[in-house]
Amino acid sequence: MNTILEGSSSSVEANSEGPTVIIGERINPTGRKRLAQALIAEDHGFVCELALSQVRAGAQVLDINVAALGVDEEQLLPRVVRQIAGVTGVPLCLDTLNTAALRAALEVVPGKPLVNSVSGEESSLGTVLPLVKDRGAAVIALTMDEAGIPQDAASRVRVAGKILERAARLGIQPADVLIDPLVMAAGADSNAGMVALQAINGIRREFGVSISLGASNVSFGLPDRHTLNQAFLAMAISQGANCVITDPAKLTGTIRAADLLRGRDEYAANYIASFRSARALSQ
Amino acid sequence: MNTILEGSSSSVEANSEGPTVIIGERINPTGRKRLAQALIAEDHGFVCELALSQVRAGAQVLDINVAALGVDEEQLLPRVVRQIAGVTGVPLCLDTLNTAALRAALEVVPGKPLVNSVSGEESSLGTVLPLVKDRGAAVIALTMDEAGIPQDAASRVRVAGKILERAARLGIQPADVLIDPLVMAAGADSNAGMVALQAINGIRREFGVSISLGASNVSFGLPDRHTLNQAFLAMAISQGANCVITDPAKLTGTIRAADLLRGRDEYAANYIASFRSARALSQ
């Protein structure tokens, strides 16, 4: 199954044979004070440079979240989306809980964007899926519902099935729904990694759809987070994840290594290109 | 299935529920000039310090290979084994192609050692397995035979099955045979990682035995070998490997991270202990 995303000048395809798609996570003010200030001040130069630096580091899609305290998302999100689309040309991932902001951004974003996110909650399904359908977008689906995030992998697979079914009823293809099995912190629950990996494996087998995940949450509260994030990404790709929302400057090497080791990189071409590019950037 | 190895003062168990067993690879003169000199000169101080440093870095078993050019293995291997057993107390892995040296070392090694290795070749099966049986040792079995190393995973699984059957005929339990699915260099063949990972998965499903592998060969000839080795180990553990022959100073963190992420490390206790120990060593 091929998930296709389009920007104004590039497009990207996620499937089970090709390389993992890297979604840059850094346009998100949570825990990033300097970015929050830039968003409030509408310092587009700073924000666009952050976008470009992620593309240079290997991001093929950029997540855009402008929800800093005191910001009017409905006004700001479309403006930032237009700016970043203009300077980078890559497909964008609209990351907001604000329906009006999502609607406004979907009107201005070029190509075929990704919406981050819908969940299995009725309120989310009823609001987000029609917008996704109307715009012809793709959507990240979180495996949680009114009861919260299921503790076990089988229940997460069930929630994924429910969202896929609801999307299909509206005419959204399974290829346009990327399931995020929700990785919790392994420091708080030492089964968190295992449950997420089992959920990835189960979703891949049962539905064959694209699987997207955030990598950094798993290491929250533990030492040497980078080593844990690296190991988790490699394991997740080994189990079937094909999209990762991450900091490309830190994890592109590991992701391209995992692609090579899964047989998705003929002649190690992407791995070597990514190494050379990282070396050039560090010089 | 529990694989148990014993040294003079510690023992270790490899199974599918517990942590991955780390076998230190550094007592091997291939490509290590200083060690080769120390072995030839019988500089036991140097060799024993190398052994101890691996145990401090997280090795639970030590591989012992003394095959430097000009060395009489039959004389030297038992002497080095006795020395290292005396200073470390951990289970040892006797790594030699020399049958007389293996026999001599098996006579002096304490506890229940590991033999590295038998293959599916008749000459190897006929020589090594009786020694393993007589000594009550465990053995690493390479998935290759007279035809060489199979290109595909299914054939490696078949060779594993053949070795397990031949071992069983002699009365060697499956728990005492650790299959090594033989990881080739991904830089020479970009399917090498995938084939090894598929073989691990197939062997785990079909036989449920312990799976041991070397981590560093996969990255041979490629840049940033460490990132590739890290990704490969995490993926191999994700697919079912439970023993790794590696440099513990470089890869213990990744291995303990992978254990935690597979749900084999309650309260992240081993991961945190390994981090603290590495930090203390680096200070």
Nearest to A224 by CA among B280, B231, B272, B19: B272
**Confidence band of A17 (pLDDT split at 50, 70, 90):** confident
Distance, CA of A77 to CA of B66 (rounded, Å): 65
Q: Chain A: give the shortest CA distance to residue B194, in Å.
A: 5
- Considering only the beta carbons, identify the residue of A231, A258, A262 that sits closest to B261: A231
Q: ipTM value of the model?
A: 0.94
Q: Which of B223, B253, B265 sits opposite A190 (nearest CB)?
A: B265
What is the C-alpha to C-alpha distance for residues B42 and A245, in angstroms, rounded to an integer?
Answer: 53
Kindly report, residue by residue over B147-179, the tens digit of the pLDDT.
999 999 999 999 999 999 999 999 999 999 999
Test B186 with A261 for CB contact under 8 angstroms: yes
Torsion angle of the four alpha carbons B196, B197, B201, B202, in this order, in degrees rounded to the nearest 10: -30
* pLDDT, position A215: 80
Q: Tell me if residue A58 falls in helix, strand or coil.
A: coil
Residue A216 pLDDT exceeds 90: no
List of chain B residues whose C-beta atoms are within 8 Å of the C-beta of residue A261: 186, 193-194, 197, 218, 228, 231-232, 235
Alpha helices (H) in A41-98, listed in sequence order = 44-56, 73-88
Chain A CB contacts of B250 under 8 Å are none
Residue type, B9: S
Q: Do B234 and A238 touch (CB under 8 A)?
A: yes
Q: How far is B102 from chain A (nearest CA, A)?
A: 34
The pLDDT of A135-153, averaged and rounded, is: 97
Residue A1 reports pLDDT greater than 90? no
Residue in chain A lying closest to B273 (CA):
A223
Residues A39/A47, Cβ–Cβ less than 8 Å: yes
Q: Which residues of A fall within a CB distance of 8 Å from B257? A: 224, 227-228, 230-232
Across B270-276, average pLDDT: 96
The answer to whether the Cβ–Cβ distance between B271 and A239 falls below 8 Å is no
| Cross-strand partners of B118 | B141
Nearest CA-CA distance, residue A66 and chain B, Å: 31
Please report residues of A whose CB lies closer than 8 A to that of B228: 257, 260-261, 271
Per-residue pLDDT band at A120 (split at 50, 70, 90): very high
